[in-house]
């Protein structure tokens, strides 16, 4: 009982996000230029150019949005680590209001993975009162004391240089992210389709971070360096009715290429991805181009989670097998999912991050 009482009343908050993350029950109404769904939320439109720095900030007229940062790290002894920092925004109504009237709800997730342990923590906040939020310029995303703050130089993109902090019950981290390449739009210039029926989101990334900083673990602080990847995505109906979850990877190849790929599991599997050259030129990968094959399942809390994958892109003779740093990287929070760092081998090798929901 003790641990139950210790937690905040997270059911309430999870409910707010459950609305947004669960498969949408209404068909998209984005055609015919209406641009809003039945409840008045905006719908992403193909051909809309991303605007910076404005699009680094929140889009309250969309139902769901996130600032999603992951990093694959190593310490001086060669031990691997993974770090996740995420701020979710979920809107109960498509607007922003002052004070407690704000319909915006914020949720923060932080994860830290070692080979033996996986730490996670979450935070919730109402919008409008200053407890959580994002400003585009100067760029700051925060919830409670967790923050992702821009230290970019004048004239550079705000996301080029970030200071990131989060703290849980038994861990914390302070990391510096410095971008070595440009922002990369995903999908069709930032319009990322999520189902054959046309559900879509706006989606761009900064996949070229080098990272350095300190992890505070129960055994003491650890200095780490590595690579990082930021995803920015917002939408109102990211999933189709029959889609139960997704498997998503971000991969950093040893040769400097990057790749993002995901499959959405529905009645039929929908896949998409982006091949990114070291200079940041993206090539969108259409449905079916990338293939995900589970190789090995791990039993976690009564669930069978496919923690080892073969990922293939036949056109480029790419075939790799992934191995997680810690197969038990389960984010046991009010919305639970698997999120952790991996290494891959095969036709290519490198490191990356894997996220799996709906198990």
Partner 1 sequence: MTRIALTALMSHWVRNWLQLAMLLAGLALATALWSGVQALNSEARSAYATAESLLAEGTAERLDHPSGQIAQDRYITLRRAGWQVSPVVEGRHTLGSARVTLVGIEPLTAPQGAGPALAAQDLNAFFAGRAFAHPQTITESGAHDLDLHPSDAVPVGTVLLDIGRAQEMLDTEALSYLHLLQTQPAGMRPLDTLAPDLRRVPAGEGAELGGLTDSFHLNLTAFGLLAFAVGLFIVHSSVGLAFEQRRAMFRTLRALGLPLRTLTACLAAEMLVFALIAGVVGLVLGHLLASFLMPDVALTLRGLYGAPVPGVLQFNPIWAASGLAMTLGGAALAGAQALWRLWHLPILAPAQPRAWARASARGMRLQGGVALALAVLAIALTLGGDGLLTGFGLLAAALLAAALAVPLVLAALLRLAQRGARGPVAEWFWADSRQNMPRLSLALMALMLALAANIGVGTMVASFRATFIDWLDLRLAAELNVMPASAQEAAALHPYLSDRADAVLPMMRVDATLKGQPGQIYAMKDHASFRDNWPLIDPVPDAWDRLAAGEGVLVNEQLYRRAGLQSGADTLDLPGVGALPVLGAYADYGNPLAQAVLTLPQFQAAYPDAPVRQFAIRTSDAAGLTASLQEEFGLSSAQITDQAHARDLSMSIFERTFVITRALNVLTLSVAALALFAALVTLAGMRLAQLAPLWALGLTARRLAGLELARALVLGALTMVLALPVGLMLAQVLLSVINVQAFGWRLPLQVFPADWARLALWAMLAVLAAASLPALQLARQGPADLLRVFSRDR
Residue 221 contacts partner 1 per CB under 8 A: no
CB of 257 to partner 1, least distance (A): 38
CB of 165 to partner 1, least distance (A): 10
CB of 348 to partner 1, least distance (A): 39
CB of 214 to partner 1, least distance (A): 12
Residue 11 contacts partner 1 per CB under 8 A: yes
Q: Contact at 8 Å (CB) between 228 and 54?
A: no
Q: Which two tokens stand for residue 267?
A: 């009645």
Q: Which stretch binds partner 1 (CB under 8 A): 8-16, 47-55, 69-77, 230-238?
A: 8-16
Residue 144 contacts partner 1 per CB under 8 A: yes
Tell me which of 35, 168, 306, 358 binds partner 1, using CB under 8 A.
Answer: 168
Site size toward partner 1 (CB under 8 A) is 34
Residue 26 contacts partner 1 per CB under 8 A: no
Cα(63)–Cα(94) distance, rounded to whole angstroms? 7
Rounded alpha-carbon distances, angstroms, from residue 209 to 125, 163, 175, 256: 28, 12, 11, 12
Angle (CA) 275-224-255 rounded to 5° is: 25
Cα(228)–Cα(211) distance, rounded to whole angstroms? 6
For partner 1, which is the closer residue by CB, 76 or 100?
Answer: 100
Count Cβ atoms within 10 A of the Cβ of residue 114 and give its class: 0-12 exposed, 13-18 middle, 19 or more buried.
buried
Block residue for tokens 């790799």: 320
For partner 1, which is the closer residue by CB, 6 or 38?
Answer: 6
Tell me which of 45, 53, 75, 92 binds partner 1, using CB under 8 A.
Answer: 92
**Helix, strand or coil, per DSSP, at residue 11:** helix
Within residues 99-118, the interface with partner 1 by CB under 8 A covers 99-101, 103, 105
User: Taking Cα atoms as reference points, which of 145, 193, 161, 176 lies closest to residue 83?
Assistant: 176
For partner 1, which is the closer residue by CB, 19 or 136?
Answer: 19
Block residue for tokens 């109504």: 93
- Which x/- pattern, by CB under 8 A, does the window 52-91 give for partner 1? ----------------------------------------
CB of 239 to partner 1, least distance (A): 20
- Given its phi and psi angles, is residue 21 left (phi above 0), alpha (psi -120 to 50 degrees) or beta? alpha
Q: Contact at 8 Å (CB) between 61 and 95?
A: yes
CB of 236 to partner 1, least distance (A): 15
Q: Contact at 8 Å (CB) between 106 and 87?
A: yes
- Contact positions vs partner 1 (CB under 8 A): 4-9, 11-13, 15-16, 19, 92, 99-101, 103, 105, 121, 124-126, 129-131, 142, 144-145, 167-170, 172, 216
């Amino acid at each position: 009982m003790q641990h139950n009482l210790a937690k905040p009343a997270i059911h309430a908050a999870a409910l707010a996000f459950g609305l947004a993350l669960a498969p949408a029950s209404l068909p998209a109404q984005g055609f015919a230029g209406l641009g809003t769904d039945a409840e008045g939320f905006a719908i992403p439109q193909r051909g809309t150019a991303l605007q910076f720095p404005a699009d680094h900030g929140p889009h309250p007229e969309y139902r769901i949005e996130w600032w999603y940062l992951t990093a694959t790290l190593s310490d001086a002894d060669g031990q691997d680590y993974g770090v996740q920092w995420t701020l979710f925004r979920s809107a109960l109504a498509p607007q922003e209001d002052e004070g407690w009237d704000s319909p915006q709800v914020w949720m923060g997730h932080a994860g830290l993975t070692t080979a033996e342990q996986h730490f996670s923590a979450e935070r919730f906040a109402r919008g409008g009162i200053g407890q959580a939020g994002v400003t585009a310029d100067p760029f700051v995303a925060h919830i409670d004391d967790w923050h992702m703050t821009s230290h970019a130089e004048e004239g550079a993109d705000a996301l080029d240089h970030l200071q990131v902090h989060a703290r849980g019950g038994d861990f914390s981290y302070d990391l510096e992210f410095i971008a070595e390449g440009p922002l990369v739009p995903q999908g069709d210039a930032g319009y990322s389709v999520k189902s054959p029926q046309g559900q879509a989101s706006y989606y761009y990334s900064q996949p070229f971070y080098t990272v350095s900083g300190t992890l505070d673990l129960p055994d003491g602080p650890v200095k780490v360096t590595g690579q990082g990847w930021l995803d920015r995505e917002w939408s109102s109906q990211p999933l189709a009715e029959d889609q139960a979850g997704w498997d998503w990877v971000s991969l950093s190849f040893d040769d400097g290429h990057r790749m993002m790929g995901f499959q959405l599991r529905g009645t039929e599997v929908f896949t998409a991805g982006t091949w990114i050259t070291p200079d940041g030129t993206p090539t969108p990968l259409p449905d079916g181009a990338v293939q995900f094959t589970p190789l090995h399942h791990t039993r976690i809390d009564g669930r069978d989670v496919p923690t080892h994958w073969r990922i293939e892109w036949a056109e480029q003779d790419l075939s790799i097998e992934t191995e997680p740093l810690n197969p038990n990287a389960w984010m046991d929070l009010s919305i639970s999912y698997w999120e952790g760092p991996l290494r891959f081998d095969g036709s290519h090798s490198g490191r990356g991050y894997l996220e799996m929901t709906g198990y």
